[in-house]
Amino acid sequence: EVQLVESGGTLVRPGGSLRLSCSASGFIFSNYAMHWVRQAPGKGLEYVSAISSNGGSTYYADSVKGRFTISRDNSKNTLYLQMSSLRAEDTAVYYCVRRTTAAAGGYFDYWGQGTPVTVSS
Amino acid sequence: EIVMTQSPATLSVSPGERATLSCRASQSVSSNLAWYQQKPGQAPRLLIYGASTSATGIPARFSGSGSGTEFTLTISSLQSEDFAVYYCQQYNNWPLFTFGPGTKVDIK
């Protein structure tokens, strides 16, 4: 069974830093691109960041570029999101998401349960 | 960036009725369009991919159609568990896979 379990979300002060983790199981992690998607309270889904299966390619939304860093450790089946210079508008639930292979279509097939990040003084 | 729009923002439907949700892309995404359902306090769940292919375990009352820039999600007979927010997403252009703003389906 595919499982994605996020952790690391908490209350942090503006300007602070935080690292989110996503532990993956039930599939060959190194075969899949992974993504972070967030959802601010009462709002829609916002695509945040992406990383290719081998970590060689990364992408960031303009809203987080230069402040967030996505990475992965395929030996540990874990995805990370290092967040710095946090702002109130980064307050959201952060979801770890698996994307199917390009051959299978490339859509998002599994989502974690999310980890909440609150940026507030 | 491909912009996704959804209409209506809110759809009020009685149980047992048919619901039709629309999604439009600012440029063609071919059939690289997915629909997700999200209930309060839960993560989104994949319903449809490839514009019209149901994901595993999705009831037959959910169906998707369309290609290019115009897409539709139809729920043939709404059940109580279907009242939720529905998002479309294009995955045509790596890496920016944009979401629509969502359609909330609530009880009439």
Q: What is the pLDDT of residues A78-95, one digit of tens each?
A: 999 999 999 999 999 999
Residue B88 has pLDDT above 90, yes or no: yes
Of B9 and A102, more confident: B9
Predicted confidence (pLDDT) per residue in A25-82, tens digit = 999 999 999 999 999 999 999 999 999 999 999 999 999 999 999 999 999 999 999 9
Interface of B with A in 23-82 (CB under 8 A): 32, 34, 36, 38, 42-46, 49-50, 55
**Using CA atoms, how far apart are residues A5 and A43, in angstroms rounded to an integer?**
22
- Burial (CB count within 10 angstroms: exposed 0-12, middle 13-18, buried 19+), residue B69: middle
**Using CA atoms, how far apart are residues B49 and B53, in angstroms rounded to an integer?**
5
Q: How many residue pairs from chains A and B have C-beta atoms closer than 8 A?
A: 61
* Per-residue pLDDT at B93: 84
The single-letter code of the amino acid at A67 is: R
* Per-residue pLDDT at B22: 98
Please, are residues A2 and A26 in contact by the beta-carbon 8 Å criterion?
A: yes
* Per-residue pLDDT at A103: 78
Predicted confidence (pLDDT) per residue in B15-29, tens digit = 999 999 999 999 999
Q: How confident is the model at residue A117 (pLDDT cuts 50, 70, 90)?
A: very high
Which of chain A's residues have a Cβ under 8 Å away from the Cβ of B96? 47, 59, 61
Which of chain A's residues have a Cβ under 8 Å away from the Cβ of B102? 44-45
Q: Give the three-class secondary structure for A101.
A: coil
**Using CA atoms, how far apart are residues B78 and B13, in angstroms rounded to an integer?**
8
* Per-residue pLDDT at B91: 92
* Per-residue pLDDT at B65: 98
By C-alpha distance, the chain A residue nearest B54 is A109
Which of chain B's residues have a Cβ under 8 Å away from the Cβ of A111? 43-46
* Per-residue pLDDT at B108: 84
- Burial (CB count within 10 angstroms: exposed 0-12, middle 13-18, buried 19+), residue A58: middle
* Per-residue pLDDT at B96: 82
Please, are residues A29 and A23 in contact by the beta-carbon 8 Å criterion?
A: no
By C-alpha distance, the chain A residue nearest B86 is A44
Does A108 sit within 8 Å of B36, measured CB to CB? Answer: yes
- Average pLDDT for residues A16-30, to the nearest whole number? 97
